[in-house]
Structure 1
């Protein structure tokens, strides 16, 4: 009767016996893996292979990161020789009676050896005032060296906002086209005007505006 009961219990609960072997089997497997891993590290060949594997993985990941982040390394710098030269400016500075001193001040503020200039005092100014301006241009050491300032000695009678003002502008443009050489921009100013930036800054702004329109 006892044998029959034990046989019955064995048939009824077979999984309880199998579960008893899972825990010892797991411990043996973990211990075997630990021994294998420690043997690989302690042996000279195994440690070197493991180190090479780590270094190769780190190098590959670093190269991948570098190529993905630093895209600027693929860009080619623009050679300096291909950059355009700064624009040449041609100015007409006009004044009337009593504007001789202001005209000289404006000319000094706008002057650059790279540019061309035409100055004019209209017919309402006195002959003495025009002569003083003429002598200033001729005797100035810098203006006399580069010879890029011209004065309209035969004064035109200019009416503000009239056709004579346009005729005077065309007269100055004709002088610049004939004697001023190569220039890119023509600027018409009065003796009362005064620049807010230097001539180099003006050239830079013109270059930026031109390239923004292209």
Structure 2
């Protein structure tokens, strides 16, 4: 697919990819936490803005594969995901819709509207979560009510992600992978599909898009020193340059890639708890590091797509053709009970994977072959 123009506020790939890859190198060499690293860009996709809904529909893989239901795996093997869904000013409705499309009672969710969002938007989100029948009953949706100031080209974006990880680790130990999304992202598969596709995987695997070929970014991103006002100001302003410039690091290697990752629980623990000093060292290094908005993603049988505006008609097509989701409701799954559907929580240890699960499993199988051959890893 053709890449959309990236809104810089959601992308900090050079920062997060290098940070993650450095952690992975240490853990894989010294601690044995990570057995393989896969490319995350295969799990995410971008829709071109100029393609109409009629053009999109034939491209979905579901129309080309058997529509028969797949047998779910045994209950104990079904994983759990922990999500961060972030937004800013004007993103309340987008975030609310994405949260409903992603929701499953097995998972954990942290949502965040940054400090640039008006207080009434943040209060409205908190009220919706508190008064929502399912959310209040299951208790797996948490809002960061003390909003962070986030400058999306600076280190405050990394700090916000680590903040969400810390909350998820504190609230529940019972999840397997962390996924960070924005309010402008949207799933292309149901949560039952995603849970099924990941059920057979080693729980220590991490999915990261990365490359060590920095090119022009070495000079324009890695060597300049910046100051992020979000670290000390209560109002948002852009980062600014400081002098002098610095040389490239020799104690570790820089990588660039996508800000969107799927990280194992064990790796998130290492990043947040930091029993090795590397996480703290790298975070301090990136305090003066400018992130890059030039991230691009490739066409693939993706699990998620981006970047959507509010009430984009393409979202209605995804809801209808891929998710089976009714307006203002949850994406249906085996957990759904009651009338109307999904108004009550049934057995959330059961899943009913559909054609999206088969599509995603094929993608993961292809990635696994590369991993077994030692390809696509931080080197």
Q: Give TM class, smaller chain.
A: 0.5 to 0.7
Off by >3 Å, runs of 4+ in structure 1: 80-84, 208-214
Offset of 1:186 from its aligned partner? 0.1
CA–CA separation in structure 2 for the residues paired with 1:164 and 1:122: 11
Deviation at 1:181, TM superposition (A): 3.1
1-structure distance, mates of 2:74, 2:100: 32
Deviations 1:10-52 (A, max 9, x none): xxxxxxxxxxxxxxxxxxxxxxxxxxxxxxxxxxxxxxxxxxx
Q: 1:192 & 1:199 partners in 2: Cα distance?
A: 18
Q: Is 2:89 the counterpart of 1:89?
A: no
**Cα pair distance change 1:159/1:86, threshold 3 Å:** same
Aligned to 2:130: 138
Unpaired runs of 5+ residues, structure 2, are 1-71, 203-360, 373-379
Bigger Rg, structure 1 or 2:
1
Structure 1: gaps (5+ residues): 1-79
For 1:198 and 1:81, the matched residues in 2 are separated by 16
- Which of 191, 194, 197 pairs up with 1:205? 197
* Conservation of the 8 A alpha-carbon contact between 1:148 and 1:180: no
Under a length normalisation based on structure 2, what TM-score does the superposition of the two structures give? 0.34
Q: How does 1:171-182 map to 2 (within 5 A)?
A: 171-182=163-174
TM-score, normalising length: structure 1: 0.59
Structure 1 equivalent of residue 117 of structure 2: 125
The reply on whether 1:147 has 2:142 as its aligned counterpart is: no
Residue in 2 that maps onto 1:113: 105
Provide the C-alpha distance between the structure 1 equivalents of 2:85 and 2:75, rounded to a whole number of angstroms. 31
RMSD: 2.2
Per-residue deviation, 1:180: 2.4
**Alpha-carbon distance in structure 1 between the residues aligned to 2:81 and 2:172:** 10
Q: Which residue of 1 aligns with 2:156?
A: 164
Equivalent residues, number: 135
Cα 1:125/1:91, change in 2 over 3 Å:
same
Residues 207 and 81 from structure 1, CA distance in 2 versus in 1: closer, same or farther, beyond 3 angstroms? Answer: closer
Instruction: State the structure with bigger RCO (CA 8 A, min sep 6), 1 or 2.
Output: 2
CA offset at residue 204 of structure 1? 1.5
Q: How far has the Cα of 1:209 moved from its partner?
A: 5.2
> Which structure dedicates a bigger proportion of its chain to helix?
1
